[in-house]
Chain A
Amino acid sequence: DAGVIQSPRHEVTEMGQEVTLRCKPISGHNSLFWYRQTMMRGLELLIYFNNNVPIDDSGMPEDRFSAKMPNASFSTLKIQPSEPRDSAVYFCAITYGNTIYFGEGSWLTVV
């Protein structure tokens, strides 16, 4: 695939803890996206970056969520403090040419 490495793949954490999800995209991508997927709400765009700059963060649910992209090869999504309703699969995705490619996702469970 186009090459988007996410970590951790699975995380179980207690409510109130800080969670950091990481994404390492292949070089040469255009944009980087963070999506959240749940059964109830489907696939939701949280934020996306162009040239490491956040372009649209209107999907970030609340101040507990923050995302950074310090350079073209790394991005983080942080939740602090985490809540059970944050349990979801979080995808990092990139555009390469015309197409969007997804990482394998980070499965987060907050208990």
Chain B
Amino acid sequence: AQKITQTQPGMFVQEKEAVTLDCTYDTSDQSYGLFWYKQPSSGEMIFLIYQGSYDEQNATEGRYSLNFQKARKSANLVISASQLGDSAMYFCAMREGLGNFNKFYFGSGTKLNVKP
């Protein structure tokens, strides 16, 4: 089974609107972490936001928020007030394991296009 599933290969959103990028995960661990990364056309992988499995509040970082639904095993990324510079690939990722022996799993990504 896939550890991280991103079902939207591509998405369009109008500038200034909000957009939700879907991510579901699969783990039997109690302690894990969830991440989102942005990869613009220049290629670098930029860390956006982190949610720990024990965090009760949804993580927020500026215009980014992570909608964490533990029972559903989903960790959707919400981008509010989209900007043209948000056009990029977005990867959802999960960390399993404890201490220094971590494994990270990445989804296949969602390509977001923000239209002016």
Interface residues, chain A, with chain B CB atoms under 8 Å away = 1, 30-31, 33, 42-43, 45, 50-51, 55-56, 89, 91, 93, 95, 98-102, 104-105, 107
Contact = CB atoms under 8 A, between A and B. Distances in A.
Given A31-B100, A100-B35, A105-B44, 10 more contacts: A31-B102, A42-B109, A43-B106, A55-B101, A93-B45, A98-B50, A99-B47, A99-B50, A102-B47, A107-B43
Nearest to A89: B43
B102 A95 contact: yes
A45 B95 CA distance: 13
Interface of B: 33, 35, 37, 43-47, 50, 52, 91, 93, 95, 100-104, 106, 108-109
23 contacts: A1-B46, A30-B100, A31-B100, A33-B104, A42-B106, A42-B108, A42-B109, A45-B104, A51-B100, A56-B103, A95-B102, A98-B50, A99-B33, A99-B35, A99-B47, A99-B50, A100-B95, A102-B37, A102-B44, A102-B45, A105-B44, A105-B45, A107-B43
B104 A98 contact: no
Contacts of B108: 42
A62 B110 CA distance: 30
Contacts of A93: 45
A101 B37 CA distance: 10
A104 B44 contact: yes
Contacts of A30: 100, 102
Nearest to A45: B104
A100 B93 contact: yes
B83 to A, nearest CB: 20
A25 B25 CA distance: 29
Contacts of A91: 45
A4 B106 CA distance: 19
